[in-house]
Chain A
Amino acid sequence: MSPQREESEIFRTTPGRRQALQRAAVGFGSLALASLLGSEVRSENVPGNNRQNPLAENPAMFPARAKRIIFLFMSGGPSQVDTFDPKPLLTRDDGKPLPFDKPRVQFNATSNLLKSPWRFRQYGESGLWVSDLFPNIAKHVDDLCMIHSIHGTNPAHGGAVMKIHTGSDNFVRPSIGSWVSYGLGTENRNLPAFVTICPTLAFGGINNWSSAFLPAVFQGTPIGNASIPSEKATVRYIRNSRWSKDLQEIQLAQLRRMNHQHLETTGADANLEARISSFELAFRMQTELPRIEDLSGETKETQQLYGMDEPKTANFGRMCLMARRFAEAGVRFIQVTHNDDKVQWDQHSDLKAGHEKNAMEVDRPIAGLLQDLKARGLLEDTLIWWGGEFGRTPTAEADGRDHNQEGFTMWLAGGGAKPGFRYGATDDYGYYAVENKVHIHDLHATMLHLLGLDHERLTWRHAGRDFRLTDVHGNVVHDVIS
């Protein structure tokens, strides 16, 4: 039934061009691989449920609503009750004790209720609420699908970040971007299927974009990291610091000659042939990637739209614009991380100043991204996913808030998410998700569903069992799908 793939089969015999179709019988993984290595096999094929031949009979699991995801990751955990989930009772009962129990496990001790320092207003035809932190995103609420009842399992950054990215907070598992790449392959044979722009190396680090036991082709390609300004962020080794392109071409020609002579002594071998192709692809990537990262060709208006005209929004704006360019170029999963030299949104204290600074840095760039994608018709099939690893407590820790994985808000936009819609709710004070609860696993299942992937059938056989992004959990939340 499921497209189980034996890692051994794919790993050990990377198919060469001429064997790609024949080898396809072992599963789509090798097709994606073949496609990365320059075969003509296109990426519209998702893993079918026919193990013998995923192409022939059942090429798609079901029609997809989205072709790609852009994940805007707000590292540190923005507060739901200060951004998108207004709580009048929290304002009323400011300073009073929480009238029900706090969770058994908390990260730090918190005291009494703390009202939000920001005013909330309703926007758009949908009348969704947004606080004054996000005046620009607020203009796009009619495109947003807010889920107020997200909940996770881990109150520490490390566990929660890994949970959001991999579905597991205590084991090393493939990242959601790797699962998506594995499921859908790439639309652009000159680029990786999964890129992550300026990710944080803390709290799981590369595990958050690693393919774990999935083949290495499905791992995320980091564009810089959080310690590097986005202006300087690029893929490692993408440029040769010494030789001209002309000389590199001469060199590659010589390398090709040598490799073919070597091949004569060994006899035909898929791995050796694949390695020959990989150099050709690398050479093409050298041209293609910098072209996408180079924002100088964008109009002034576009750059302004993303806030690149202002120092405070320029860094994140550049990342968002790069994300759009990757989306246009056919990359499947693009992550943009908002993380400064602290844990950006982690306001255990000084909530007011901290959240104000953070929101200001992303508000215009994100609004710009939404507007730009929409104008280009890309929002149709691009799913935007916004959120942090958890929310924050409505109760106070100094003049800030503690971590809270019990109930928080994430929003989706485009790609089949129901626009201008709110789903689920937290309690009167915004501590626990209580209505239409959506676990991280459910969210993962839903997003895969929008990409045309059944989270229960997107599996990989490893260490004796079939693994999937949602482990043994996850339900598709059909109510948030338009």
Chain B
Amino acid sequence: MNVTSGFRILIIAILFPVRLLAVDETSPETANRQFETHIRPLLTQHCERCHGEKKQWSGLRVDSREALLKGGDRGPAIVPGDAKRSLLIQAVRHQGDAPAMPEEGQLTNREIEALEEWIRTGAHYPNGKISTQITRDPNHWAFQSLADAQPPEVIETSWIRTPIDRFILAKLEAARLAPSPPADRVTLIRRLTFDLTGLPPTPEEVDSFLADDRPDAYGHLVDRLMETPAYGEHWGRHWLDVARYADSNGLDENIAHGNAWRYRDYVVESFREDKPFDQFLIEQLAGDLLTADDPHTRRQQLTATGFLSIGPKVLAEVDQPRMRMDIVDEQIDSVGRVFLGLTLGCARCHDHKFDPIGADDYYGLAGIFRSTKTMDSYVKVAKWHEHQLPGDEAVQIQAAFEQDIVQRKQQIASLTEAEVQRLRTSRASGDTVEIPESEFSTEARAELGKLREQLAAKEKEGPELPSAMGVTEDEISDVAIHLRGDPLRLGDVVARRVPSVLRGREEIAFPSTHSGREQLARWLVDPSHPLTSRVIVNRVWRWHFGRGIVRTTDNFGLLGEKPTHPELLDWLAREFVNGGWSMKSLHRLILNSNTWQQSSAASETVIKGDPDNQLLSRMRLRRLTAEEVRDSLLAVSGRLDSTQGGPVLKVKNRGYLFDHTSIDLTDYTSDRRSLYLPVIRNNVYDLFQLLDFPDPAIPSGDRVTSTVAPQALLMMNSDFVLQMADSLSDRIHRESESESMRIARLVQLSFGRPATDQEQQQYSAFLAQADTSLMSLNVEESVRKRMAWSVLCHTLLASNEFIYLK
């Protein structure tokens, strides 16, 4: 036993020298990290309140190495290299004469050991200023104003279609590379149709594009596709990824966001009508504070603020102050990631470790969102606020409700009257004799009681007016810094403001009468803001090319990646702002470029010279997204239902989607576009889940693409895919006569191109082979033949060509 454990220690010592020989560890980075991870939090949390900048009880402060060496009234607090002789250690160990510290209770053994280890290894204490300069760099590229970049000169000017091409080609030429040739037109229309609408082109659309010999046929196609309803649905879905859209709360109490669909439809409509992005942003942060000339605009403004409300919340959090700050935190973090590309949430507990965002910056923003009302009640299960939406729909529902109440009252009155009449007649009393209800028949009293109960219930419930999740104003106040994020440990109050590093030249006045959301929103869309325009054009670039100019679309901070084409990014951002923040103009600029129209098959030279395609020397192969896979299956099999908008849940608003029974109450059997399937947090539809639908609890601008076996199982065995194969088989039998025509149609529908001779032969042989295998089933020949066709259709739908775009 002893031998074994001794041996083990030896092995650990050999394999893991860093831990045992920490004294010799001289890397300042490691020492900094150790200090920031283990020591600074301890000192800040347990010591600095009394021994820091504000107070120096017993003359001691612990916020620098010098101060600790100098010590307080009792002498030096630390002796570097000698933990035992350090007063600090005696104090936290409650040893000797040193005062037992900290006052609120002894540190854990691990914490004490960490302090001892730190002192033993020399008490490295990074100087605050130095660490600021290294990591919290205010001169980081993303915080600088947009450069006034001009499209560069290039040699091969004939390749230039839009200015974007100059930026790309200049870098390629510098690397002595040529761009890839343009994709063929069949590939191009398939790529473009998916890009703008998330759907495959129909064979007829392909034919008509191929037949269009106008020189600007492609440009016309771009314009036509952007005007389809499918465009708004597909690009709205991109935004919903970023907006962490979901039809249920998720987290602990998974209850229905019964009205979230209104926000979804608002987003789709905004894209469809090319709403300027600055207006789109302002509406989402402060729509309720804007004015409107008509009810439709007002509905849009109120609905837009759903952006702030739709995040996941711990609705059964019993610690109400914590729940409130958790919601504020989720809002700050989302606004940060979505619009600024910054992880502001980090600064809740401490200054941001890498970006120049202080806890004070965070609580400056927190004031804005705590002055905003997201919740009507924090009592578990907490209730989020909903706006009642004005307009005809509301008026009609209100009128119908009032009429219903009137009718109910009339019913009660006439029943009463009838009973009185009946009693008068039976008693032969005069018309004026009062008969109290207590003398009514038992049945009549019971019936009246029931009717009155129903009336009372209806009145209490009120009309189900059109409502949307959203925020409004709360009591306006500034917020104190929460030390280590703890609502019970408050520091200085910070006036509401925007982060210092981004503030710009002019101070923004935050009024005492409003939360300041509108000021925040207007500051974000100020043309001189260094981040907002860069972040959104980079997102759009990512959605067109599969990778951002800044690859980390949601993080432009110091730990994000640097742009591959910084001048292009700034030029695009300026162009976007100057062009009135129009998405569709930006699409045109990108899609009409030669860069975007390149082939994805590159020459050896190009692959060698640009292995990771950093320079965009070719187009990327792209797998369809989860929604595109499902929508394509429905489209090619002829089943797609293109109904737009509206509610999707069968569970009532705020009803449980999932409770302890684990029974799934969500229905996904629908032939509508995937956009209109419920997005249920904690249990995203499994087809979506398997195909990398992003976690709807967090903003996500850069979907990932995984390739795992369960996806193959889904394609091979799920009833959904098998049914689509049947429908596709039915369709080609409906639409074509002979075997070879059916095969041609099948390939045309599935891959958007004509079938080759090889395919004709192969598929025909496969049908025969499948037919033979199916013989054992002993079914009629016609049935068997159709089954074989189903298998063939199924095989095409599962193939790489169906699911990957060139």
Residues in A lying within 8 Å of B, measured CB to CB: 1, 7-8, 11-12, 14, 36-37, 49, 58, 60-63, 104-107, 155-159, 162, 169-170, 172, 192, 200-207, 210, 212-213, 215-217, 221, 225-227, 235-244, 246-248, 250-251, 254-255, 257-259, 261-263, 265-267, 269, 271-272, 274-276, 278-279, 281-283, 285-286, 339, 341-343, 437, 461, 463-465, 472, 475
- Given the known interface contacts A156-B316, A274-B707, A472-B37, the answer about A225 and B662 at a Cβ–Cβ threshold of 8 Å is yes
A442 — nearest CB in chain B belongs to which residue? B110
| Cβ–Cβ contact A464 & B326, under 8 A | no
Residue of A11, A250, A251, A263 with most chain B CB atoms under a 10 A cut-off: A251
A348 CB, min distance to chain B CBs, angstroms? 13
B252 and A156 contact, CB distance less than 8 A: yes
Q: Which one of B319, B554, B762, B791 contacts A463 once the chains associate, using CB atoms below 8 Å?
A: B554
CB pair B799–A251 under 8 Å, yes or no, is no
Contact B314 A169 (CB under 8 A): yes
User: Which among B59-67, B532-540, B767-775 touches the partner chain?
Assistant: B767-775
Q: Is the CB of B800 within 8 A of A276?
A: yes
Task: Contact check, B683 vs A206: say whether CB atoms are below 8 A apart.
Answer: yes
How distant is the Cα of A142 from the Cα of B146 in the complex, in angstroms? Answer: 69
Q: Is the CB of A272 within 8 A of B662?
A: no
- CB-defined contacts of B692 to chain A, threshold 8 Å: 216
CB atoms of A170 and B326 under 8 A apart: yes
Q: 5 A-B Cβ contacts within 8 A? A: A237-B716, A237-B718, A241-B717, A266-B601, A267-B601
Question: Roughly how many angstroms separate A246 CA and B326 CA in the complex, as a whole number?
Answer: 55
- Cα distance A261–B552 in the bound complex, in angstroms: 35
B791 touches A12 (CB 8 A): no
Q: Which among A162, A206, A243, A465 is the interface contact of B343 at CB below 8 angstroms? A: A465
B559 engages A464 (CB within 8 Å): yes
**Could you tell me which residues of chain B, from 707 to 750, have a CB within 8 Å of some CB in chain A?**
707-714, 716-719, 722
- Given contacts A61-B16, A206-B689, A465-B346, whether A281 and B712 have CB atoms under 8 Å apart is yes
Could you tell me if B684 and A12 are in contact, using CB atoms closer than 8 angstroms? no
Q: Would you call B74 an interface residue if the criterion is a C-beta within 8 Å of the partner chain's C-beta atoms?
A: no
Contact A201 B683 (CB under 8 A): yes
Contact call B314/A227, Cβ cutoff below 8 A: no
Contact residues of B between 785 and 802, Cβ < 8 Å to A: 791-792, 794-796, 798-801
* Given A172-B697, A271-B623: A221 and B710 interface contact (C-beta under 8 Å): yes
Report Cα–Cα, A242/B800, bound state, in Å. 22
With an 8 A cutoff between CB atoms, is B251 at the interface? yes
Contact of A217 among B554, B706, B791 (CB under 8 A): B706
Q: How many residues of B contact A (CB 8 A)?
A: 98
**Assembled-state Cα–Cα distance A224/B621 (Å):** 35
Asked whether A63 lies within 8 Å of B8 as measured between CB atoms, the reply is yes
Contact with A along B762-785 (1 / 0, CB 8 A): 100010011001101000000000
Determine the chain A residues whose CB is within 8 A of the CB of B713 once the complex forms: 235-238, 282, 285-286
Binds A, one of B152-160, B256-264, B429-437, B653-661: B653-661
* Interface residue B354 (Cβ < 8 Å from any Cβ of A): yes
A243 to B695, CA, bound (A): 34
A265-B800 CB under 8 A given contacts A217-B706, A463-B555: no
Contact B773 A227 (CB under 8 A): no
Query: With A105-B319, A269-B621 in contact, is A203–B710 under 8 Å at CB?
Result: no
Q: Which residues of A sit under 8 angstroms from B714, Cβ to Cβ?
A: 236-237
Question: What chain A residues lie within 8 Å of B446 (beta carbons)?
Answer: none
Task: Name B762's closest neighbour in chain A (CB-CB).
Answer: A257
Find out whether the CB atom of A272 lies under 8 angstroms from the CB atom of B621. yes
The contact string, 1 if C-beta is below 8 Å from chain A, for chain B 678-717, is 0000111010011010010110001011111111111011
Do A11 and B704 have beta carbons less than 8 Å apart? yes
- Quote the shortest CB–CB distance from A20 to chain B (angstroms): 13
Contacts of A286 in B (CB 8 A): 713, 717
CB contacts (< 8 Å) of B702 on chain A: these are 8
Q: Which one, A243, A266, A282, A464, contacts B712 given CB within 8 A? A: A282
Residue of A nearest to B252 (CB): A158
**A205–B254 CB distance below 8 A:** yes
Chain A min CB distance to B661 (Å): 5
Interface presence of B265 (CB below 8 A)? no
Tell me the bound Cα distance from A213 to B552 in angstroms: 14
Decide if B621 touches A266 in the complex (CB within 8 Å).
Answer: yes
Q: In chain B, residues 8-34, which have Cβ atoms closer than 8 Å to a Cβ of chain A? A: 8, 11-12, 15-16, 18, 30
Q: Chain B residue with minimal CB distance to A9?
A: B612
Does B461 sit at the interface, judged by CB under 8 A? Answer: no
B412 interface hit (Cβ, 8 Å): no
In the docked arrangement, what's the CA distance between A105 and B316, Å?
12
Report if A158-B253 is in contact (Cβ < 8 Å); known contacts: A58-B15, A105-B319.
Answer: yes
- Contact assessment for A242 and B722 in the assembled complex, using a CB-CB cutoff below 8 Å: yes
Describe B's contact surface by its main secondary structure.
loop
CB distance from B261 to the nearest CB of A (A): 21
With contact pairs A281-B712, A464-B559, A465-B559 given, residues A254 and B707 touching in the complex (Cβ less than 8 Å): no
B144 to chain A, nearest CB (A): 19
Asked if residues B317 and A159 are in contact (CB atoms below 8 Å), the reply is yes
Q: Does B318 contact A (CB under 8 A)?
A: yes
Q: Is the CB of A155 within 8 A of B8?
A: no
Select B770's contact among A105, A250, A272, beta carbons within 8 Å: A250
Does any Cβ of A come within 8 Å of B84's Cβ?
Answer: no
Q: What's the nearest-Cβ distance from chain B to residue A23, in Å?
A: 12
The CA-CA distance from A8 to B716 in the complex, in Å, is 28
Q: In the bound complex, what is the Cα–Cα distance between A472 and B649 (angstroms)? A: 39
Contact of B709 among A159, A215, A278 (CB under 8 A): A278
User: Which residues of the partner chain A approach B558 to less than 8 Å between Cβ atoms?
Assistant: 464
Q: Which residues of A contact B387 (CB under 8 A)?
A: none
Chain A residues with CB under 8 Å of B798's CB are 255, 279
In the complex, what residues of A have CB within 8 A of residue B12's CB?
Answer: 62-63
Residues 531-571 (chain B) with a chain A CB within 8 angstroms: 547, 551-552, 554-555, 557-560
Query: Among B559, B602, B717, which residue has its beta carbon within 8 angstroms of that of A239?
Result: B717
Nearest CB to that of B722 among chain A residues?
A: A242
Chain A residues lying within 8 Å of B18, measured Cβ to Cβ, are 1, 49
The residue from A202, A212, A274 contacting B660, defined by CB atoms under 8 A apart: A202
Most central of A62, A201, A239, A437 by chain B CB within 10 Å: A201
A255 B707 Cβ-Cβ under 8 A:
no
B226 to chain A, nearest CB (A): 28
Inter-chain contact A247/B684, CB cutoff 8 Å? no
B663 at the interface (CB under 8 A from A): yes
Taking the complex as formed, is B324 at the interface, i.e. its CB lies under 8 A from any CB of chain A? no
Assuming the contacts A62-B15, A240-B716, A251-B794, asked whether A464 and B770 have C-beta atoms less than 8 A apart, the reply is no
- The smallest C-beta distance from B37 to any residue of chain A, in angstroms, reads 6
Q: Identify B314's interface contact among A156, A192, A267, CB under 8 A.
A: A156
Given A343-B660, A465-B346, verify A63-B11 contact (CB < 8 Å): yes
Q: B660-676, CB under 8 A of A: which get 1 and which 0?
A: 11111000000000000
Task: Verify B800–A170 contact, CB threshold 8 A.
Answer: no
Which residue of chain B has its CB nearest to the CB of A436?
B109
Interfacial chain A residues near B792, Cβ < 8 Å: 254
Cβ of A146 to closest chain B Cβ, rounded Å: 20
Are A464 and B600 neighbours in the complex by a CB distance under 8 Å? no
A430 to B252, CA, bound (A): 27
Question: Is B57 in the interface zone, CB < 8 Å from A?
Answer: no
Minimum CB–CB distance for B558 against chain A, Å: 8
Are the C-beta atoms of A464 and B560 separated by less than 8 Å?
A: yes
On whether the beta carbons of B800 and A202 are closer than 8 Å, the reply is: no
Chain B residues whose C-beta falls within 8 Å of the C-beta of A244 in the assembled complex = 773, 776
Of the residues B600, B621, B682, B704, contact of A215 by C-beta under 8 Å: B704
Q: Tell whether, in the assembled complex, residue A200 and residue B704 are in contact, meaning their CB atoms are under 8 Å apart.
A: no
How far apart are the CA atoms of A11 and B420 in the complex, in Å? 79
| B318 adjacent to A339 (CB under 8 Å) | no
Residue from A1, A259, A281 within 8 A of B799 (CB atoms): A259
A276–B800 Cα distance when bound, in Å, is 8
B27 (CB) vs chain A CBs: closest residue: A1
Q: Is B139 engaged at the interface, CB distance under 8 Å to the other chain?
A: no
Give B765's nearest chain A residue, CB to CB: A254
Cα distance, A281 to B702, chains bound together (Å): 28
> Are A203 and B252 in contact (CB-based, < 8 A)?
yes
Nearest chain A residue, comparing its CB with the CB of B5? A482
